[in-house]
Structure 1
Amino acid sequence: MDTPQNTALMRALTELPGPLPARGVIHIATRHTDRFTVVGNHLAQHPTLSTTAVGLAVRIQSLPQGTEIGIKALAARLPEGEKLIAAALRELEAHGYLQRARTRLPNGRIVTRTVFCNQPTALLRARVAVRPPAPPQVPALPDVQQEQAPEAPAPPDHAPFVALVPPPTAPRQPSPPLPQPRELTAELDRAATALLSDLRRHAPQLVLSENDIRQLAPAVAAWLERDTHPDTIRHTLTNDLPQPLRHPAKLLKHRLTVLLPPPLPGADDLAAPARPRIAVTPFQTCDGCERAFRAPTPGHCRDCRNAHGPAQAAAA
């Protein structure tokens, strides 16, 4: 039963242009002619969005205009629960893919529309470059809450569309400096250089120049100085690489800087804190009745002090 499928697969592989990679995924791309949705790599390979949020964004983008995309509506057609869907929608809203716009209808009623933007940054650039001459006509809505996913949303002027992504001209934050070891010894430098040079054996995309290795070696030495095992460093640098990887050195610089572990605590740091000592007032023997009582210095007990006090006052 598997022979026709295997034959078709082998024939498709032989028709792929160029040599096939020795490892990793091999794509057999068949051109779609109907029932397909174009998804940008900025979404499919988003560095911070969760896989659930990316998948939900693809599902929303493929839905027809006017489909309900509230939490309960999505939960009714998807295997994920309402909590997971709500968290994914919050992620998409935080990154500008999902936005809510308040709109006033011709009858004066204000409604909220949920808008999905397949390219938030492109939408922002379009609004900055060209301002629409007049607001579009808003059709009457059957309910107060309506959710739509227009291809090119353009809210009216009295309900501005607030972009949740920084404009292209916003100043970029300076990159944090590479970690540096307390002392770059010859042994640390040799181990860090060897680890970086060996990365391409584990991930062919990570081909570094000698200049890249010289710049990144102190950061790897800082990891080694903090007692990080070389296998741990190698896994951190080679795991889940983006495809395609255009700037290997920049990616390694980012991971070495952002994921730097703290130094291992010493034995004294792990020891339980000592309990505070409680000062105990010592026992004293009363000079009058020789009864024991607590006091910081020798003298009389309370009863003797009370008895001697009036007598001493009368004698004076």
Structure 2
Amino acid sequence: MAPQHPSAPSRATSRVPSGTARSGVIHVNTWHASHYTVVGNHLLQHRELSATAIGVAAYIQSLPAGAPVGIKALVARFPEGEVRIASALRELERHGYLERRRERLEGGRVVTRTYSYNKPGSASGEPPPPPDREPVPEPESDPEPDPAPEREAAVAPEAQRLHPGAADLLAELRRRDPRLLLAERDVRRLAPSVSAWLERGVDPEAVARALSSGLPEDMRRPASVLAYRLTALLPPHLPAAPPQPAARPPARPDPLQNCDGCDKAFRAPTPGRCRSCPPAAAA
């Protein structure tokens, strides 16, 4: 009978190279020569982003330019529903990894472009110049669950006619908060959304308060914050005022009568005596 050695390592354990971590993840890496995407650890190890948001951001960065990244396209690709996908997109917008802009083309049509930043806040993080051809508008206007697509359809026609006070309202926001100093191109881009609020009967002061109150302390992209608020907080149209009851015609005065007692004229529905004369029986 062969001697037993309980402390001897098993055959599988003996194959583990020296220096391997005793617990936790062990990386088994293979070099990629093609079909790969470089993603920064600032995204993959972000402390404030959810796992869904990190996964969606990495997926978007792996897509070719022009690929659809609206809510419906992402829901069709992943098992998560619209609510989780919309929440993930909002997280990425808050932290600067995504920016959605409504831009007017030369022909006057308003489209939505989505900009993906692989390193927010970097010097090279400016969006690329507009393409030579008109982009296809995305069906969703905002990272929100339904009815966000319908909301975009409602805003676009109103944005065609710009309210005269929309641009001035945006330019004056810096008087309320110096951080809301907007570039002229951002004022032109956001003015149609402000016009939609004003066209719905919202007082300009109320619009300014909705845009400037309760802003995040670490606000790196004020134009993106304003764009999100203008779309996400857009109030509905005022309901039609209830019909007013038809005005009653004025009552016609009683006809003139001659008093049976003093023969003076007075108004009454039927002949008789005026108020100054006693009743006929008393007389």
TM-score tier after normalising by the smaller chain length? 0.3 to 0.5
Question: Scaled by the length of structure 1, what TM-score is found?
Answer: 0.38
